[in-house]
Amino acid sequence: MPPSHPFDDDKLHEECGVFGVVGVADAANFVALGLHALQHRGQEAGGIVSYDPATGFQSARRFGYVRDNFTKASLMETLPGQLAIGHVRYSTAGSKGNTAIRDVQPFFGEFSMGGAALAHNGNITNAEALRRELIDHGSIFQSSSDSECIIHLMARSFQRTIPERMKDALRRVEGAFSVVAMTRTKLIGVRDPLGVRPLVLGRVADGWALSSETCALDIIGAEFVREIEPGEMVVISTENGIESFRPFGHAPSRFCIFEHVYFSRPDSILGGRSVYETRRQIGVELAREAPVDADLVCPVPDSGTPAAIGFSHESGIPYGMGIIRNQYMGRTFIEPTEQIRNMGVRLKLNVNRALIAGKRVVLVDDSVVRGTTSRKIKEMILDAGAKEVHFRIASPPTAWPCFYGVDTPEREKLLASQMTEDEMRDHLGVDSLKFVTLDGLYRAAGEAGGRNAQCPQYCDACFSGDYPVAPSDMIAKGFQTKAAE
């Protein structure tokens, strides 16, 4: 298993991406390509399960990048069939470095009516309570993943088909989930009632594809058809086409707004909007809300680039690549010694001194989490001869942990939970620090009136502390939500 990048702990990370295909020859090859496009959502491990009538269910799970594992003909030949699903994973904060291969999805279960495999993006907020209940009633878990609860709940259902058993199981589940699953003949996609995590449907040749993002449909030449709706289950087969069900009733959508800010690739489409255009518009909002006299606007690559372009265009301050990213750093560079660790972000980023020297620089980044990387980047910019350093952040202050499928530090480690904006400015040692407001972020995402405080259009709990689904397991451990405070 590749070690975590030693300088990559100051960003929030999605924990996984899912992809599935039905009705095409060598479906596993399509899934491998889709997972490659979703690699940004999970870089620790990946897995594929396929089904072929002649060989039955076959699976492969590997640590590391998709390109290093699922491009080998010798492996892909073991995954035949016209139906396959896959998963890429980024472990939760508590399990980094301790992941076992049994934790790598998709998970598989054999039921009386046949086998089923399942891949899950999100987080089950009552998983610990469910796990205790299931173990008390005789279930034997094979992994430490919350997603395995779904398989066990399906096994305990008395419904006669696997899709019906899945409905039963997911009605017991709290939190956020986008699920891609498969039986011997069907590809299944489900989103939780609030639609917190993304899931889209595509048409590929004579078959169909389900994906966490549209960019993965592009790589296999699939046509984007539509998003799976919040609370919707689709069951897809070559015989019956697409069947749609609503097993959870109706609730207002609370899609994760951080997908727009950071998680999704900029070439994906979310809610009918280009992710790139939303991020560029965040920069426009920032320039309007927090203007500054400066000579140069620079992104912190790569996630700050669209917002920096928007900030530059709106402010009239020239845009420049003042920081250059080493694209070949990777997560498996070297086992870091203390001396290497002290180099910090210099192994990943380098300052374009000729551009920076003597300038008042606006640095645009997507977020400030712990603040450690921001401080190092500021020092590099000053060392290169900048006269002033101003930070503009393309998201509101991240003050609350996420419990819906995002790897977030404990609340006390989030800088914004402990300091005011002015205190953060002094802590980072910059000339000014401004975050886009929550209303500004909503406007950039297409909500002209800003945030509806009575019924927010997105899940923004990491900024507001407003959790649309109570994190039951964490509350049982003593975590206090903003409402409780």
Question: Which tens digits make up the pLDDT trace of 192-238?
Answer: 999 999 999 999 999 999 999 999 999 999 999 999 999 999 999 98
Residue 481, in any domain of the structure? no
- On the question of a cis peptide bond just before residue 456, with omega within 30 degrees of 0, the verdict is no
Distance of CA 262 to the CA centre of its chain: 8
Lowest-confidence pick of 10-14, 23-27, 123-127, 174-178: 10-14
Considering the domain architecture, whether residues 58 and 172 belong to the same structural domain is answered as yes
Query: What pLDDT sits at residue 332?
Result: 40
- On the question of a cis peptide bond just before residue 302, with omega within 30 degrees of 0, the verdict is yes
Query: What pLDDT sits at residue 339?
Result: 53
Q: What is the DSSP letter of 259?
A: I
Considering the domain architecture, whether residues 175 and 92 belong to the same structural domain is answered as yes
Does pLDDT of 179 surpass 80? Answer: yes
Residue 460, in any domain of the structure? no
Whose tokens are 């009538």? That residue is 53
pLDDT per residue as tens digits for the range 283-296 = 999 999 999 999 99
Q: Is the separation of the CB atoms in 370 and 409 below 8 Å?
A: yes
Considering the domain architecture, whether residues 247 and 354 belong to the same structural domain is answered as no
Considering the domain architecture, whether residues 157 and 248 belong to the same structural domain is answered as yes
Note if the pTM is more than 0.85: yes
Query: What pLDDT sits at residue 99?
Result: 66
Does pLDDT of 261 surpass 80? Answer: yes
d(CA 77, CA 176): 34
Domain housing 297: 280-445
| Pairing, β 296-299 against β 360-365 | parallel
Considering the domain architecture, whether residues 173 and 317 belong to the same structural domain is answered as no
Q: Is the separation of the CB atoms in 28 and 79 below 8 Å?
A: yes
Q: Which of 370, 368, 369, 321 is CA-nearest to residue 349?
A: 321
If you average pLDDT over residues 253-281, what whole number do you get? Answer: 96
* Six token digits for residue 331: 């997560």
Considering the domain architecture, whether residues 94 and 157 belong to the same structural domain is answered as yes
pLDDT per residue as tens digits for the range 81-98 = 999 999 999 864 334 445
pLDDT per residue as tens digits for the range 52-91 = 999 999 999 999 999 999 999 999 999 999 999 999 998 6
d(CA 146, CA 82): 29
Considering the domain architecture, whether residues 234 and 304 belong to the same structural domain is answered as no
In the chain, how many domains are there? Answer: 2
Higher pLDDT, 461 or 250: 461
d(CA 247, CA 168): 9
CA atoms within 13 A on the CB side of 33: 16
Residues labelled catalytic: 16
Query: What pLDDT sits at residue 6?
Result: 38
Using alpha carbons only, give the angle 124, 196, 13 rounded to the nearest 5 degrees. 75
Considering the domain architecture, whether residues 133 and 49 belong to the same structural domain is answered as yes
Beta carbons within 8 Å of 125's beta carbon, 6+ residues apart: 174, 175, 176, 403, 404, 469, 470, 471, 472, 473, 474
Does pLDDT of 2 surpass 50? Answer: no
Residue 483, in any domain of the structure? no
Lowest-confidence pick of 8-12, 249-253, 428-432: 8-12
d(CA 241, CA 234): 10
Instruction: Identify the sign of the CA torsion 241, 247, 250, 252.
Output: negative
Residue 463, in any domain of the structure? no
Considering the domain architecture, whether residues 94 and 34 belong to the same structural domain is answered as yes
Question: Domain containing 186 — which CATH number?
Answer: 3.60.20.10
Query: What pLDDT sits at residue 334?
Result: 44
Which contacts of 411-414 are long-range, i.e. CB under 8 A and separated by 24 or more positions? 413/370, 414/369, 414/370
Query: What pLDDT sits at residue 331?
Result: 45
Considering the domain architecture, whether residues 158 and 17 belong to the same structural domain is answered as yes
Query: What pLDDT sits at residue 5?
Result: 41
If you average pLDDT over residues 316-331, what whole number do you get? Answer: 82
Considering the domain architecture, whether residues 202 and 91 belong to the same structural domain is answered as yes
d(CA 88, CA 335): 23
Beta carbons within 8 Å of 372's beta carbon, 6+ residues apart: 9, 10
Residue 167, in any domain of the structure? yes
| Pairing, β 241-245 against β 233-237 | antiparallel
Distances in whole angstroms, Cα of residue 110 to Cα of each of 118, 155, 238: 12, 9, 22
Q: What are phi and psi of 165, to 5 degrees?
A: -65, -35
Using alpha carbons only, give the angle 406, 409, 414 rounded to the nearest 5 degrees. 115
Residue 270, in any domain of the structure? no
Residue 307, in any domain of the structure? yes
Considering the domain architecture, whether residues 249 and 284 belong to the same structural domain is answered as no
If you average pLDDT over residues 384-393, what whole number do you get? Answer: 97
Per cent of the chain over pLDDT 90 is 83
Q: Which helix (H) or strand (E) holds 356?
A: helix 353-356
Question: Domain containing 434 — which CATH number?
Answer: 3.40.50.2020
Residue 456, in any domain of the structure? no
Q: Where are the alpha helices (DSSP H) in 179-318?
A: 214-219, 258, 275-289, 305-315
Average pLDDT over the chain, rounded to an integer? 91
pLDDT per residue as tens digits for the range 160-175 = 999 999 999 999 999 9
Does pLDDT of 426 surpass 90? Answer: yes
